[in-house]
């Protein structure tokens, strides 16, 4: 039976619909997803940070270089540390002097004493070791060009799509713990809240006042000066 023109048109219409549907609906078979963060997840794992400094006595304290390293290390703990910070002094009769020195210096930074753990250990070089647990973010390796990007009839994303972005996020995040759980909101400013409420009650503007030096105007450099 010879097909009529109507049958040919019906078959052509059906093929067009199927082709359009295959382009509109991604077919993510396998392990790839449309979300790059699912294909290249950022892993957050604890890491132990240590610093070893020489200590010759409470009177001499630390050498300038070691003191600068110690200050930076403690600042890193305050910003990124999790849990306690430990001080391990060389075992011996002078261990209590080192423990007291570093314990008091850490407390002077505002670190609660219950978060300062002290102890002794064998140290052949006689240095004091300070340590804390932080978190490190990392992503899996990039460079998977196994897919043929010139033939994508299955409409899947490239295996390498978004990998560099995930690596950049892992490297730039200030505190990897933020990727695990959001921080709690800090308490509101009670004094500011009382001021705003008082101004609202008295019919005064509730916004902050601006000085004459403050301006939100956009610069007109390069703009038209004509009428």
Please check whether residue 156 is in contact with residue 26, taking contact to mean a CB–CB distance below 8 angstroms: yes
3-state class of 219 per DSSP?
coil
Nearest to 58 by CA among 99, 28, 20, 93: 99
The structure tokens 């390796």 sit at 141
User: CATH no. for residue 123?
Assistant: 3.30.1330.60
| pLDDT the model gives residue 33 | 67
Residue 162 falls inside a structural domain: no
Give me the pLDDT at residue 67, please. 92
Whether residue 55 is contained in a domain is answered as yes
User: What residue numbers bound the domain in which 104 lies?
Assistant: 45-137
Give the pLDDT score at 28. Answer: 42
* Residue 109 covered by a domain: yes
Q: Collect contacts of 146-153 with beta carbons under 8 A, ≥24 apart.
A: 153/22
Low-confidence ranges of the chain (pLDDT < 70): 1-33, 214-227
Structural domain total, the chain: 1
Residue 225 lies in a domain: no
Determine, yes or no, domain membership for 156. no
d(CA 162, CA 32): 12
Q: Give the model's pLDDT for residue 218.
A: 64
Query: What does the pLDDT read at residue 148?
Result: 82
Residue 59 lies in a domain: yes
CA–CA gap between residue 10 and residue 74 (Å, rounded): 76
Residue 80 falls within a domain, yes or no? yes
Is the residue at 155 inside a domain? no
Strands 42-54 and 116-121: unpaired
pLDDT, tens digit, 9 for 90 and up, residues 188-223: 888 888 888 898 988 888 887 777 776 666 666 665
């Amino acid at each position: 039976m010879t097909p009529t023109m109507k049958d040919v048109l019906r078959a052509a219409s059906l093929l067009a619909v199927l082709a359009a549907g295959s382009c509109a609906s991604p077919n993510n078979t396998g392990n790839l997803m449309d979300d790059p963060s699912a294909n290249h997840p950022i892993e957050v794992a604890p890491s132990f940070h240590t610093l070893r400094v020489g200590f010759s006595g409470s009177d001499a304290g630390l050498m300038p270089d070691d003191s600068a390293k110690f200050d930076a290390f403690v600042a890193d703990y305050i910003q990124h540390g999790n849990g306690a910070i430990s001080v391990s002094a060389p075992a011996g009769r002078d261990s209590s002097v080192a423990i007291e020195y570093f314990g008091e210096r850490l407390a002077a930074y505002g670190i609660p004493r219950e978060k300062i753990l002290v102890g002794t250990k064998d140290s052949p070089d006689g240095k004091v070791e300070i340590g804390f647990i932080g978190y490190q973010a990392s992503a899996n390796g990039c460079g998977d060009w196994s897919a043929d990007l010139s033939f994508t009839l299955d409409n899947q994303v490239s295996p390498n799509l978004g990998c560099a972005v995930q690596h950049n996020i892992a490297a730039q995040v200030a505190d990897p713990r933020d990727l695990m759980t959001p921080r709690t909101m800090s308490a509101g400013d009670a004094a500011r809240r009382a001021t705003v409420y008082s101004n609202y009650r008295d019919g005064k503007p509730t916004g902050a006042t601006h000085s004459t030096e403050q301006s939100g105007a956009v610069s007109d450099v390069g703009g038209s000066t004509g009428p």
